[in-house]
């Protein structure tokens, strides 16, 4: 019998049929229409029945007889044979139902995915054979894979779009004419066209993400995604999943496969903000990606290649972190290919009038207010202040001031800012650290150790809570000592 003839319409035997003959005819025709074959495997490992459609599915020649178990396993791709053997052994040993998917090498159709289901048959409490069916589900699997691919693409687009929308609430323009800022912008322009890894260092609020975005926009990756992640804002138990993604069932709550930020940034730029706060385990995984350009999803076994430019940023002293054992030196040298250090606002006070004008116009429009003039004394007061929160803090102060002002003249009340106002010209690094520590300790004393929330120390200092927590750790301040104060 030719194998091709098995897939054509079954001929109903002529004349009257017994009930058995009629049942066999309907079974063969049903299997042919469903492209599903049935089989029987004895406890001795011998197939004693293969339906005609089973021969068609695997492209075995029925004239050669039913294949042996070894011949059938040989049709499966090597990486699936061990699982098939273990499943069959378990079904006979435990009397368990078997249900699995595996790839085979079809002589005519190439790589095909099969779905086999088997049920144990018990006699006197012992499994004597397995009866099952096999279905070629390649087309369905390909359709599902296409749906997953489209879903992943949609997820990528949604994440990137959401981040672009969120970024509009930030200070997007890098404004200023000071020499120190111009040097930074010149460095950014030099490194932008390359694929070199960049490490941006600077205090919180100095605009590290803005410089990273400027580098991306001037690079050859500008048409692809810019994906950012704040490493300090994500719990250490979830950061691996956030960066590299996870497979369904990888951990409690992983109800479906999820792409990580490296996959979302494929072909584009990944911005790792506050990279100094990464747990050591994640640092090792990040080092591997930078070295090998490959990674695995959490709970996965497939090695994924990535083509991503990494720009990292930190407000921490990484040399001190290396000495303390909280940051790997080999990762530092991988990230520190092209370092850029952003100056704090107190070191470019000549840029403050430009920034004030920009923010006043911006927030006045949002509030529906018209501001004609800005008091000179307010500009002078803002230039005298040391700005521990830098441009972000200036932005917050101006927004708060515009909420209060009832005239068309913008001003800042010194008394209103008395808890953070300091008349201090340029200060050296040692005294700057001392001043910052004193400010944090004063704020913690005022809030009785509370860091986050509207009444917390972070709000008083104009800092994100995660950034303040990082500074508290770096300066080794015991915030708990202020709770009873």
Domain-by-domain residue ranges, the chain?
A: 4-136, 161-341, 350-412, 427-485
pLDDT in tens, the chain (485 residues): 333 434 444 455 555 556 655 666 656 666 666 678 889 999 888 999 998 888 988 889 888 899 898 888 888 888 888 888 888 999 898 888 888 888 888 888 888 888 999 999 988 888 999 999 998 888 887 777 776 666 666 555 555 554 544 443 333 457 888 889 889 989 999 999 999 999 999 988 888 999 999 999 999 998 888 999 999 888 888 899 889 988 887 777 777 778 889 988 899 999 999 999 999 999 999 999 999 999 888 888 788 888 999 999 999 889 888 988 999 999 999 999 999 999 999 899 999 988 998 899 888 888 888 888 888 888 888 888 888 888 888 888 888 888 888 888 888 876 655 444 443 333 344 444 456 787 888 888 888 888 887 778 887 887 777 778 878 887 888 888 787 65
CATH topology of domain 4-136: Beta-Lactamase (3.30.450)
Q: What are the CA-CA distances from residue 52 to residues 25, 45, 59, 107, 219 (Å)?
A: 11, 20, 11, 17, 61
Going by DSSP bridges, is the β-strand pair 373-374/409-410 parallel, antiparallel, or unpaired?
A: parallel
What are phi and psi for residue 345, nearest 5 degrees? -60, -30
CATH topology of domain 161-341: Rossmann fold (3.40.50)
* Domain 350-412: CATH architecture, name and number where available: Orthogonal Bundle (1.10)
DSSP state of 453: S
Is the distance from CB of 253 to CB of 261 less than 8 angstroms? no
Upper half-sphere CA count for residue 184 (Cβ side, 13 Å): 25
Q: How large is the greatest C-alpha to C-alpha distance in the chain, in angstroms?
A: 111
């Amino acid at each position: 019998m030719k194998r091709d003839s098995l897939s054509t319409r079954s001929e109903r035997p002529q004349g009257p049929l017994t009930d058995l003959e009629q049942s066999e005819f309907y079974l063969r025709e049903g299997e042919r229409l469903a492209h599903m074959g049935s089989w029987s495997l004895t406890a001795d490992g011998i197939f004693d029945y293969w339906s005609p459609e089973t021969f068609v599915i695997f492209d075995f020649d029925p004239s050669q007889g039913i294949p042996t178990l070894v011949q059938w396993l040989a049709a499966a791709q090597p990486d699936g044979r061990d699982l098939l053997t273990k499943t069959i052994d378990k079904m006979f040993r435990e009397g368990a139902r078997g249900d699995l998917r595996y790839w085979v090498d079809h002589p005519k159709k190439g790589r095909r995915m099969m779905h086999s289901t088997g049920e144990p048959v018990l006699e006197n409490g012992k499994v004597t054979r397995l009866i099952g069916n096999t279905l070629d589900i390649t087309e369905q699997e390909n359709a599902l894979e296409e749906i997953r691919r489209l879903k992943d693409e949609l997820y990528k687009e949604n994440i990137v779009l959401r981040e672009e929308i969120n970024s509009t609430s930030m200070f997007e323009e890098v404004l200023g004419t000071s020499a120190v800022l111009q040097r930074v912008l010149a460095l950014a322009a030099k490194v932008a066209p390359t694929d070199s890894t960049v490490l941006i260092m600077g205090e919180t609020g100095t605009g590290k993400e803005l410089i990273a975005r400027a580098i991306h926009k001037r690079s050859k990756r500008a048409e692809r995604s810019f994906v950012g992640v704040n490493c300090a804002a994500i719990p250490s138990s979830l950061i691996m999943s956030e960066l590299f993604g996870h497979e369904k069932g990888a951990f409690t709550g992983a109800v479906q496969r999820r792409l990580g930020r490296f996959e979302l940034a494929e072909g584009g730029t990944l911005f790792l903000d506050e990279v100094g706060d990464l747990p050591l385990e994640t640092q090792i995984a990040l080092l591997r990606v930078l070295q090998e350009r490959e990674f695995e999803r959490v709970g996965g076994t497939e090695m994924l290649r990535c083509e991503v430019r990494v720009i990292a940023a930190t407000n921490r002293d990484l040399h001190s972190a290396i000495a303390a054992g909280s940051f790997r030196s080999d990762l530092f040298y991988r990230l520190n290919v092209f370092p850029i250090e952003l100056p704090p606002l107190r070191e470019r006070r000549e840029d403050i009038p430009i920034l004030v004008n920009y923010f006043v116009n911006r927030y006045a429009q949002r509030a529906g207010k018209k501001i004609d003039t800005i008091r000179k004394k307010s500009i002078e007061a803002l230039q005298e202040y040391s700005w521990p929160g830098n441009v972000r803090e200036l932005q917050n102060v101006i927004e708060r001031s515009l909420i209060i002002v009832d005239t068309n003249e913008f001003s800042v009340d010194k008394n209103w800012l008395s808890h953070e106002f300091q008349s201090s010209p340029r200060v050296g690094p040692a005294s700057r650290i001392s001043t910052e520590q004193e400010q944090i300790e004063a704020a913690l004393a005022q809030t009785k150790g509370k860091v986050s929330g509207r009444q917390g120390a972070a709000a008083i200092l104009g800092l994100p809570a995660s950034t303040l927590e990082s500074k508290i750790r770096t300066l080794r301040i015991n915030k708990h000592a202020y709770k009873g104060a």
